[in-house]
Structure 1
């Protein structure tokens, strides 16, 4: 693989993007633009349903924080977000991870309408999982490790093509738009990759400000580690950063549960 000039070019671009921005666009990924649009369209249709219909899959602590999230229910920095959402996670069987995963045990809640929502999203998720795995292999190579060094730790965003709302804070401290480019995903790296890379790659602050009068949909896919994975600086990244681990070991499930429990109005 190391002799493949195209691969090396992609790896260099990934490294530059992760070091300088923490955000990048993904194109030429093999997922049909028509499918990306269909996913956004079916999501629009769900949110256009009557409130009572959406509440049939209402998110609660009892169902592992899965399902429909009401407007203003999610909080960021102590303030309600003016968004509604549907949250899905990998199903967790009771007792699979002992007491660690109890708050998130359960299976996902799928709406009755639109009728193709379930099948469409499950197929889409499978495709994004494969794509994310390939991106992580490229990131591993960019950091000088084996292709299977990492699993998880990035987000792929499929956003409406005609509304600018996603903003990223650049190195100068300015908020700039991550403008929609048809057929592409916006990818950002997360906190756990910062730990794994020993700070070589840093996540970037971002926000959504929709000044358009129109309803905006963004379908975000989080490619995450195993729930019980221990995340700590890997040896080949420690060697590149002075030989000392800058971050303590983190169990991914503990990190996720802390975020989930702090993200919603009780």
Structure 2
């Protein structure tokens, strides 16, 4: 992966999104150009902005506004959905509660994952069994977040289809794979070290690398807050 890029690439994935259900999309000239740009961005920068993703700016604003309201609540109110082992490690996580290599992370978050029915994965999946915990206030928090996360999951899959084609595989080559943000042991986060300006209407994608576990996450284009890391990251 290159390190001498000067700007984060901006890719219009509209053609890929529009033709995602077409089994012959890989032969479409516009989709081919998107695939070429994804390939180059992943090799040269490891980060890229996308536009033409189809997620409304108004929805993104609603999500930001409602999460700001929740994290602005008194500590006691946020503890009503406190994360515990009994909750499948879902729910509110206070500042300093998450420990990385013996050091507390300075963020607060709501951790959420795909909901798992008891017994689905036997003893392996037992620690994460359960339903996500959502606050009663702000109202409609659960409905709004579930709508947003569903859109992000769908968007992630569409982009991974493009990356799979860029690697010479079939569009669905990554379907069913475990996805985690992964980085070297001495690197605690993936982020653009130079200034990454806020670009309205765009999402930034950092791409990790590993031979067995594929890394991919979605965030709005700025240095990520605790909300970005813990809620948006778990959308895929």
User: In structure 2, how many angstroms separate the alpha carbons of the residues matched to 1:56 and 1:97?
Assistant: 28
1:130 counterpart residue number: 154
Show CA shifts across 1:128-147 (max 9, x none). 12111110110110000110
How much has 1:148 moved relative to structure 2? 0.7
Q: TM-score, normalised by structure 2?
A: 0.74
Change (3 A) 1:72 1:130: same
Show CA shifts across 1:206-241 (max 9, x none). xx978xxxx9853524354xxxxxxxxxxxxxxxxx
1:168 maps to 2:213: no
Q: CA RMSD in A?
A: 2.8
**Structure 1: gaps spanning 5 or more residues:** 156-165, 170-174, 225-266
1:220 maps to 2:232: yes
User: In structure 2, how many angstroms separate the alpha carbons of the residues matched to 1:96 and 1:203?
Assistant: 25
Change (3 A) 1:202 1:99: closer
CA contact (8 A) 1:168 1:177 kept: no
Q: TM-score, normalised by structure 1?
A: 0.67
Q: How many correspondences in the alignment?
A: 197
Of the three residues 201, 220, 232, the one matched with 1:183 is 201
Change (3 A) 1:209 1:222: closer
**Structure 2: gaps spanning 5 or more residues:** 1-24, 182-188
Change (3 A) 1:185 1:148: same
1:17 maps to 2:41: yes
Judging by fraction of residues, say which structure has more strand. Answer: 1
